């Protein structure tokens, strides 16, 4: 007998029919003898609707009351799902986060889980119930309702799975797994059977928004096997797990990309200690996050060029800050370009395969795609290229690394 935590997102419980379909699925599993804990999101659109209501009263409502408000979406779903389960003859009981005792810190709207008391849930499971828990919410030490941030039901599910030492945490969503890249860009993208936590974090932070990043971090930390699968189609989904050294890993697991990059260059800055700090200090003081950084060696032994990327939303502000910095540093010029994108190859296989970067550059060169910046980490190589080449770049690399086939690239 296995203990499984299942999470159903907003679209999976978006209508009464869908809630009933989910109930049917759960019933089948329960009849096989598994113990099942279900974590649900609010019905799709509901959280946004609630936020909209608050917005009509006050632009900056009390964070405490905001959490009281937005946590109601999930409370509706747990009750409806339990009713649907009863209807099909399945014993089930619902709990809010506070009732379970999902204890969090008191950071309203972005609370972190500190502790979970699984006793009540365990007792219900042992007496043959399916336990249905409201995602996204908890309580602080004083019993105030808190929420875990948008998409936080994923984290609730993983945390419950960790607390109950579940055999697996299954995240049911509207996609059937994690893909080698975005199928809207490369129709030959393939669903991965497995991916490691590390790779998933790289893919997720680069825009493959399948799972809340915090949930993946949490699952990695507490060693909870995590599976992403579709609530609409049958299938095995993608298992996110630890690296297995006995498996001959593919060189590359996936290709992530980020359209929201913008590039800034200060030309001809003095090649002296402290210059990088003088350029990036004011940027970070303005709370602008810097992604890639490249500084050239000085060609004329006196001045150098300094390039970095920021999120497109911060582009205008960063540009203004840099103008001031460039003047005080007596730099030659500032160049800006917000029509760039970042493409990244991700794979733990890079650790044991040499020459991946040059293979990547060769493939891009063959298509005449100019690489503007490069950065690498142990399991990732990223390049910044012109926006107009995004699709060609992704497809070219997908093919070059044999990602569409089942075999090892
Ligand atoms: N209902 C919340 C949201 O829309 C939490 C979740 O769905 O995971 O962000
Ligand atoms: Mg979600």
| Least distant ligand from the CA of 50 | 1
Cβ of 138 below 6 Å from ligand 1: no
Taking residue 312's Cβ as centre, other Cβ atoms within 10 Å add up to: 15
Nearest to 201 by CA among 254, 237, 246: 254
CA distances from 63 to 50, 92, 107, 273 (A): 14, 32, 9, 44
In a domain, 120, yes or no: yes
Last residue within a domain, chosen from 114, 148, 174 = 174
| pTM for this entry | 0.84
Same domain? 162 vs 263: no
Same domain? 259 vs 163: no
Taking residue 276's Cβ as centre, other Cβ atoms within 10 Å add up to: 15
Atom of ligand 1 nearest to the CA of 10: 7
- Considering its fold, how many domains does the chain have in total? 2
Q: Which domain holds residue 329?
A: 255-400
In a domain, 362, yes or no: yes
In a domain, 217, yes or no: no
In a domain, 128, yes or no: yes
In a domain, 310, yes or no: yes
Give 255 Cα–ligand 2 centroid separation in angstroms: 22
Residue with tokens 């100019």: 370
Cβ of 97 below 6 Å from ligand 1: no
Note the pLDDT tens digit of each residue in 216-266: 999 999 999 999 999 888 899 999 988 776 556 678 999 999 999 999 999
Note the pLDDT tens digit of each residue in 306-348: 999 999 999 999 999 999 999 998 898 999 999 999 999 999 9
Contact between residue 195 and residue 238 where contact means Cβ atoms under 8 Å apart:
yes
Give 211 Cα–ligand 1 centroid separation in angstroms: 11
Atom of ligand 1 nearest to the CA of 152: 8
Q: Facing residues of 215 across strands? A: none
Give the separation between CA 91 and CA 59, rounded to whole angstroms. Answer: 43
Note the pLDDT tens digit of each residue in 104-128: 999 999 999 999 999 999 999 999 9
Nearest to 294 by CA among 375, 222, 220: 375
Cβ of 151 below 6 Å from ligand 1: yes
Last residue within a domain, chosen from 149, 174, 199 = 174
Same domain? 137 vs 264: no
Task: Specify the CATH number for the domain of residue 164.
Answer: 3.40.1160.10
Radius of gyration for the alpha carbons in the chain, expressed in angstroms and rounded: 24
| Least distant ligand from the CA of 156 | 1
Cβ of 256 below 6 Å from ligand 1: no
Last residue within a domain, chosen from 174, 199, 230 = 174
Cβ of 102 below 6 Å from ligand 1: no
Secondary structure E strands in 155-247: 168-173, 194-196, 226-230, 238-241
Same domain? 170 vs 44: yes
Note the pLDDT tens digit of each residue in 280-317: 999 999 999 999 999 887 777 788 899 999 999 999 99
In a domain, 81, yes or no: yes
Same domain? 166 vs 299: no
Same domain? 161 vs 267: no
Nearest to 203 by CA among 139, 257, 239: 257
| Least distant ligand from the CA of 69 | 1
Same domain? 108 vs 8: yes
Cβ of 137 below 6 Å from ligand 1: no
- DSSP-assigned letters across all residues of 42-94: PSTTHHHHHHHHHHHH-SS--HHHHHHHHTHHHHHHHHHHHHHHHHTT--EEE
């Amino acid at each position: 007998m296995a203990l499984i935590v299942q999470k159903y997102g907003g679209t999976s419980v978006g209508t009464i029919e869908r809630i009933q379909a989910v109930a049917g699925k759960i019933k089948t599993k329960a009849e096989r003898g598994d113990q099942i804990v279900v974590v649900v999101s609010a019905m799709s659109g509901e959280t946004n609707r609630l936020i909209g209501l608050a917005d009509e009263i006050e632009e900056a409502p009390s964070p405490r009351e905001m959490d009281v408000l937005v946590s109601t979406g999930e409370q509706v779903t747990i009750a409806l799902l339990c009713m649907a389960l009863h209807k099909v003859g399945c014993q089930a009981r619902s709990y809010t986060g506070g009732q379970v005792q999902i204890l969090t810190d008191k950071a309203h709207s972005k609370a972190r889980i500190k502790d979970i008391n699984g006793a009540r849930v365990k007792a219900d499971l042992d007496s043959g119930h399916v336990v249905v828990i409201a995602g996204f919410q908890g309580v602080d030490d004083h019993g105030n309702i808190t929420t875990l941030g948008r998409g936080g039901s994923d984290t609730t599910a993983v945390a419950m799975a960790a607390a109950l030492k579940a055999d697996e945490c299954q995240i049911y969503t509207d996609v059937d797994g994690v893909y080698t890249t975005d199928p809207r860009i490369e129709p030959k993208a393939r669903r991965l059977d497995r991916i490691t936590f590390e790779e998933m974090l790289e893919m997720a932070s680069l825009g493959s928004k399948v799972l809340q990043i915090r949930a993946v971090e949490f699952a990695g930390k507490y060693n909870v096997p995590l599976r992403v699968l579709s609530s609409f189609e049958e299938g095995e989904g993608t298992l996110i797990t630890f690296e297995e050294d006995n498996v001959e890993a593919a060189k590359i697991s996936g290709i992530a990309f980020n359209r929201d990059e913008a590039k800034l260059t200060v030309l001809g800055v003095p090649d002296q200690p402290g210059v990088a700090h003088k350029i990036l200090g004011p940027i970070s003081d303005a709370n602008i996050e810097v992604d890639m950084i490249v500084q050239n060696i000085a060609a004329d032994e006196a001045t150098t060029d300094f390039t970095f990327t920021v999120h497109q939303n911060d582009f205008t502000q960063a540009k203004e800050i840099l103008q001031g910095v460039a003047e005080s540093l007596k730099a030659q010029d500032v160049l800006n370009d917000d029509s760039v994108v970042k493409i990244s190859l991700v794979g733990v296989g890079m650790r044991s395969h040499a020459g991946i970067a040059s293979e990547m550059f060769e493939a891009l060169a063959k298509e005449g795609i100019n690489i503007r910046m490069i950065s690498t980490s142990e399991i990732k190589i990223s390049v910044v290229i012109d926006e107009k080449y995004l699709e060609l770049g992704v497809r070219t690399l997908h093919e070059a690394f044999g990602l569409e086939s089942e075999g090892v690239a």
